[in-house]
Structure 1
Amino acid sequence: MHGRRGLLIAAINGKAEGDRCLTCDVVCEVCTEVCPNRANVAITAGGFADPRQIVHLDGLCNECGNCGTFCPHAGRPYKDKITVFWSRADFDGSANTGFLPLAGGAYLTRMPDGSVREHRRDQEDLPAGMSQVLAALEKDYSFMLVAPLGAQL
C-alpha cells in the first residue's frame, strides 16, 4: 500500500480511474504528508486493527489546519490524535489527550475524558490505546519524547 503513495497515472478513464485510489480506508496517513512541519507522524503500535497509528508532536505544530483540511475521515489530527508535549506550558494550553514526559519515567497525562494525572511506567492505569501508543513510543520512538535541540519551548 505504501508503494502507491505519490504514484501518478496519466490516463483518467474507466479502469485507470479506479487505479488512482490511494486506499485511504486501508492506509491513510494523509495528515503526515500534508503537514509542513512534520508534526503528525506514523508509528507502529501493537493492539490495533491498523498497527500504523498517528501521533501528534505538539512542539512542531503551528495549527495551520492542513491535516484537518485534507483528512478524508473528517478528522482534525492536530486535535484528535494522541499528542506528545515537550513543555508544561504547551500541555497546560491544550485540551489534547496525550503525554508530557517528566523526570524518572513519569508522564503528566491528559486522559480522553479531559482529566489530568501523573502516570508512571510501572502502572497499568491507561486506556488500552494510550497504553499501546506510549509503549511503542518508549520502545521504538523515544526520540519523539524529547524536544529537539534548539526547539523554542
Structure 2
Amino acid sequence: MPELDLNALGVAAGPLQTWVLPALLGLGLASATGLRTFLPLLMLALASKFDLFGVRLIDQMDWLVSWPAIAALATATVAEFAGDKIPAIDHALNAVGYVTRPVAGAVAAGSVFWAVDPAAAAIAGLIVGAPAALAFNAAQTGVRVGSTATTGGLG
C-alpha cells in the first residue's frame, strides 16, 4: 500500500491541509492539555523535532523544538505527574490549570497551523485551543470534586 503524502494532498485539497487537518490536530492537542498541561506540548515538540507523523509547526514556534525547551517540558511533565499523586498539590495544580491549560491549549493548537499567516494561526489557536482545554479541565475538576467528596480527599 503506498504511503499517503499529506503535502501532496494539501496541494490537491487546499483547505483540507490548510485548515481542517490542523484544526483537528489542534483540537486533539488542546483537549489533552485540558487534562495534562505539559505532556501534549512535549509530544508536539518531539513529533516536530523528529519529523514524526508529518507534524509541522509555524516558524514562530521553532523555540518549542529546541533541546532546552524539550528538557523543560519533560521536567515539567514529570513534576506534573508526581504532583498529581499528592492530593494537596493535585488540587493546587488543578486551580492553576484554569489559567495555564487554556493558554497551553491555544499555543498547541495555534502551532500546527503552519500554512497560514501567523496572526491567523494565533487566532485559530485561540478559537480551537483555549475553549477545548478549558472544557476538559472543567470536566476533570467536576470528577475530582466528586472523588474528593466520596473519599474525603484521600483518593
Tell me the TM-score normalized by structure 2.
Answer: 0.28
Higher relative contact order (CA 8 A, sep 6+): 2
TM normalised by structure 1 equals 0.28
> More helix by proportion, 1 or 2?
2
